[in-house]
């Protein structure tokens, strides 16, 4: 059961940059319209690559959020993080500098400033080590997106950066939840960012045979739970949520989106990239999140699945949901993977999908799994194929799993909360 002594945490601001929109509203509208963000790579010449498409943030201009001189000292993943954080700050209506010591940030990433690192290596080869930029290290370090968010917003409370592959931004949400519950902060800017559309990242994931090679039709390439899926679509993006202690939010008259009610975490101890074949360890993370939120599996109304569009991953997650919810409950619980539209934003994925889960609770509309045309018989749950579903639910769950065996789940409750409180 939920511990009544812990401070309650609500969401009061949202920000996002994604392959389907440069704001939360744009991304949500595109998702419900069934638009995919994948297209031919424009950030480098992908001729000769096995995969020549990705999900890029189209039309994104960092100058809308950051001084251009300062932006030259940052990697693109930091640009995306700052945009999402600024959007979330404005959306929340907070005067962050007035509460600086009680406000913190937890911004996650899987691979950090990989674009800057690659460019530095090329520069050494072409021009020698003496021509390397003095900003090359701070552009590359994975924690600097979080650092820049703190610097630009003026937070002086807890500052952390998870680097746990594709589970990272769900863990950042957990960090923020814990910081507020334990009284270390009243407000936390939590989320993730990724800018992996680079030669090494695309070639490396391609060498693992993790990426789709549907080069003739990128928009159809990410097809979670579909029989014909052949890998994920690598994508860039960022999302940031403002988490706030409930009484603090109410006292200032904040608009509340949802309650972040529970968090669960476990590990597989199985393989560096393959999921736990039994499904028991990821299922433990979900059950831990249910317990933390004080709910039962029967209370879950919607699951935003990790659903990357890889053959093994989607089958495995189907098994995980059956273990966590029970076979009968899993069969009648709506589930979708929004990666069909966004592609896989790696360390940002959990935060992106948390935003979508919250909006589903707010609007009473469950987002679809697009490109689900031929369901895989091994993926036999209700995956909301292709069109959104109008259904008001009270509790939404979002899963994220990462290389190395990282398993996470977060539970959101619709605001105002139902009789489950």
Q: Which residues are catalytic?
A: 166, 306, 344
Q: Are 370 and 341 in contact (CB under 8 A)?
A: yes
Distance CA 413, CA 122 (A): 48
Angle CA 6–9–14, to nearest 5: 165
Beta strands of 84-203 (E only): which ranges? 103-108, 159-160, 187-194
Q: Are 11 and 242 in contact (CB under 8 A)?
A: yes
Query: What is the DSSP annotation of 309-372?
Result: S-HHHHHHHHHHHHHHH-HHHHHTS-EE-THHHH-B-GGGHHHHHHHHHHHHHHHTEEPPBTT-
Distance CA 281, CA 123 (A): 44
Q: Are 78 and 368 in contact (CB under 8 A)?
A: no
Written as six digits, the tokens of 343 are 């592609």
Q: Are 238 and 65 in contact (CB under 8 A)?
A: no
Q: Are 123 and 173 in contact (CB under 8 A)?
A: no
């Amino acid at each position: 059961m939920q511990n009544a002594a812990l401070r309650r945490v609500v969401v009061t601001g949202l920000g996002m940059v994604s392959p389907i929109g440069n704001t939360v509203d744009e991304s949500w509208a595109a998702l419900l319209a069934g638009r995919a963000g994948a297209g031919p790579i424009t950030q480098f010449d992908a001729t000769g690559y096995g995969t020549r498409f990705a999900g890029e943030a189209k039309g994104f201009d960092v100058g809308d959020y950051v001084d251009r001189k300062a932006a030259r000292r940052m990697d693109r993943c930091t640009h995306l993080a700052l945009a999402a954080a600024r959007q979330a700050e404005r959306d929340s209506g907070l005067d962050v500098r007035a509460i600086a010591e009680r406000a913190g940030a937890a911004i996650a990433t899987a691979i950090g400033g990989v674009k800057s690192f690659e460019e530095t290596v090329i520069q050494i080869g072409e021009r020698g080590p003496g021509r390397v930029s003095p900003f090359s290290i701070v552009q590359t370090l994975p924690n600097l997106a979080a650092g820049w968010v703190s610097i630009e917003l003026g937070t002086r409370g807890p500052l952390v950066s998870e680097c746990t592959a594709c589970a990272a931004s769900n863990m950042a949400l957990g960090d923020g939840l814990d910081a507020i519950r334990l009284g270390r902060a009243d407000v936390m800017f939590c989320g993730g960012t990724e800018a992996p559309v680079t030669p090494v990242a695309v070639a490396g994931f391609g060498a693992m045979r993790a990426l789709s090679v549907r080069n003739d039709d990128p928009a159809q390439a990410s097809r979670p739970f579909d029989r014909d899926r052949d890998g994920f679509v690598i994508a860039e993006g960022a999302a940031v949520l403002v988490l706030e202690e409930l009484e603090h939010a109410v006292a200032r008259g904040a608009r509340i989106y949802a309650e972040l009610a529970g968090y669960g975490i476990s590990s597989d101890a199985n393989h560096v990239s393959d999921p736990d074949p039994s499904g028991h360890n990821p299922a433990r993370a979900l059950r831990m999140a249910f317990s933390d939120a004080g709910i039962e599996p029967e209370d879950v109304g919607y699951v935003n699945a990790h659903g990357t569009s890889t053959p093994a991953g989607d089958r495995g997650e189907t098994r995980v949901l059956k273990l966590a919810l029970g076979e009968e409950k899993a069969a009648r619980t709506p589930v979708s993977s929004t990666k069909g539209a966004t592609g896989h934003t790696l360390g940002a994925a959990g935060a992106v999908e948390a935003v979508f889960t919250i909006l589903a609770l707010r609007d009473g509309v469950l987002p679809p799994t697009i490109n689900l045309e031929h369901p895989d018989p091994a993926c036999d749950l209700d995956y909301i194929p292709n069109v959104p579903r109008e259904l008001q639910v009270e509790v939404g769950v979002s899963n994220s799993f990462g290389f190395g065996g990282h398993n996470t789940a977060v539970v959101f409750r619709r605001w105002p909360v139902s009789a489950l409180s």
